[in-house]
Structure 1
Amino acid sequence: MNYVEKIKTSLLTLSILFLSGCVTPTYITKGEEFPKMYEEKPRSLLVMPPINLSTDAEAKDYYSTTVEMPIALHGYYTFPYQLTADVLRQQGIYDSELVYDVPLNKFHEYFGADAVLFTKIVSWDTSYTVVASTLTVSINAEIKSTKTSEVLWQYNGTVVVDLAVNGGGGIAGLLVSAIATAINTAAADYTTYAKQANGRFIGSMPVGPYHPMYMKDQQVKLLKQSKVSDLDKTATTE
């Protein structure tokens, strides 16, 4: 093979690799992606305590304060989180994992809830080096029917924030960058970014009966994501 042919072969190989790495986004409507939400029409959601798989022991307490309000604004009746958490503890349910795989009809009997929202904190972490730092908040969520225990809706939301600060060139700039990055990392407000992650997945939900767009958003398009088989599958970083 001569020199010219080698170049052509190399360019062809690179083109194939480039094209194979380019994935065209696929869009799907809410009605196509979550038909069971429109069929069952849940009106009230019981928000379960988060399942925490992150390395931050306090993530569960922080994140639980960010869920109830955006769900309510999306048109659903939500039971007061603290009240339901207390009732669940009285029943010996301290972790949502205990009831995730069991029939959920009891939640309809106890609370009158049409469906249950399970959330899982996949990531609540900071990756830090001297001059580089990223913050990742990743949440998986599912709505399950209290009538059938089937999944009506599922999605994930991930926010990755670059906390690094560029202080300029030279040793002085490097020192400024290191100090500023450390300050940014220490002061990072996880709840703010948890709300952003919530916004990504809550926005994909069909709106509830207390929203003016109720049953009118079936043609709204979403970026199609791979089906998450259960809450144990890690969310995809966006």
Structure 2
Amino acid sequence: MLIHDARRAAVAEFAGTALLLIAVVGSGIMAERLFVEQAGLALLANAIATGGALIALILAFGPISGAQFNPVVTLAAVLRREMRWPRALAYMAAQVTGTIVGVWLAHGMFALPILQLGIKPREGGAQWLAEAIATFGLLAVIFGCRAQGRPAVAYAVGAYITGAYWFTSSTSFANPAVTLARALTTSFAGIRPEDVAPFCLAQCVGGVAAVSLFAWFERRAD
């Protein structure tokens, strides 16, 4: 297992998150072009592409880094004493950098300006609550499925995110690095920069709540 090699693991987190954002943003751009003024169909295409890419990426990069692709998942690993801060910070830096590069590469593929700032408003208590719930559910799926092995986690996470695109008012960003990167695109998947911080805070709240609940579950099971 290469997961013990910190350098390879960080590069895997960078590559995986870059490819994830290429899938998120690229499929959003394609959906906008194919389904003009049909937001429902565009969202469906975006959700399916993202969920499918997540499954593949977790299976591909999981043996190298654990395929976290998400600072909240990495923070959860620290809180659960499964990872130390030095490696966690390297993971988080790789995740944030990877998501930004992924957005730029998606723009390049569709011949769009590389540097953009999001213009789509995503604000208000309902959407912040949705992000907390989306992130709580994501970590619950990860924690609950891990005992069944990586393939189970990959398929469960892909299915959950595909569904959460539809059952949350925010379309389930559930990832601070993804949220930051999506502020760098004016495409279907974008978010205004001023809306990023409340989303990220809500995601952290949901993540910590999931860690706390599963810590209680595990204490009760002992």
TM-score range, shorter chain: under 0.3
Q: Which has the larger radius of gyration?
A: 1
Greater helix fraction, Structure 1 or Structure 2: 2
Higher strand share: 1
TM-score, length basis structure 1 = 0.26
